[in-house]
Amino acid sequence: RQMAAEIRQLRRTGANGFVIGCLDPQGTLDERAIQPLLEAAEGSCLTLHRCIDVSRDPAETYLTAGRLGFDTVLTSGAAASCTAGADLIGQLLQLRDSIHGPEVLIGAGVNASVIEWFRRRFPAAQAFHMSGKTSIQSGMRFRREGVPMGIPGFDEWHISQTETSAVAAARRVLDCKNGTDPSAPL
């Protein structure tokens, strides 16, 4: 209920797209839980987030997302990175084209060279999601080591920030018609 209320509020303030997704305990798309969110979105653009990557059957999840009206499915190909999940991404791209399904938004580890590689291996690949992030030192000079203030494994002394040059490099690759050899190392 809270998520549906937030979607309605965000729509009132001008949002026109939402990234949502819910799985049931068996690892399938939870249509009952998603329905109130779809109703709250009232025809807005919808992206199924990477819950597909931890679902029992990603192809089935993709088909269900299409049936429910999702425009886009964000995926790493059910792997830690999109290059590791490239085979499944290729299958989803074929499925997209054969049924005119939701766009396959390739994510997790995307940068300019990964975009080039994907576009050569899968010419139908057209949508990529990247943060372009880099880690920079925080301005904090005094550091009391061994006292984490957040999630375990996260460093208190660095900040993730989008790197302009990484985004520009990706844009150049997206604007280019030719890629690199898909068998070349990344």
- Give pLDDT tens digits for 118-159: 999 999 999 999 999 888 888 888 888 777 777 766 777 888
At residue 153, the pLDDT reads 67
Give the pLDDT mean for 7-13.
Answer: 97
Strands, E assignment, 6-114: 17-20, 45-48, 72-75, 103-106
- DSSP lists the bridge partners of residue 18 as 46
Q: In whole angstroms, what is the distance from residue 79 CA to residue 53 CA? A: 7
Closest C-alpha among 21, 41, 40 to residue 31: 21
Q: How confident is residue 177, by pLDDT bands cut at 50, 70 and 90?
A: low
3-state secondary structure of 121: helix
Joined together, the tokens standing for residue 57 give: 């059957």
Q: In whole angstroms, what is the distance from residue 97 CA to residue 140 CA? A: 50
Lowest mean pLDDT among 70-84, 95-109, 118-132, 156-170: 156-170
Q: In whole angstroms, what is the distance from residue 186 CA to residue 128 CA? A: 16
Written as one letter, the residue type at 108 is: A
At residue 182, the pLDDT reads 47
Per-residue pLDDT at 185 exceeds 80 = no
Strands, E assignment, the chain: 17-20, 45-48, 72-75, 103-106, 127-128, 133-137, 158-162
Long-range contacts of 149-156 (CB under 8 A, 24+ apart): none
Burial bucket for residue 115 (CB in 10 Å: 0-12, 13-18, 19+): buried
Q: What pTM was computed for the model?
A: 0.86
Per-residue pLDDT at 56 exceeds 80 = yes
At residue 49, the pLDDT reads 96
% of the chain exceeding 70 in pLDDT:
92
Residue in the structure block whose two tokens are 């994907």: 118
Q: What mean pLDDT value characterizes the chain?
A: 91
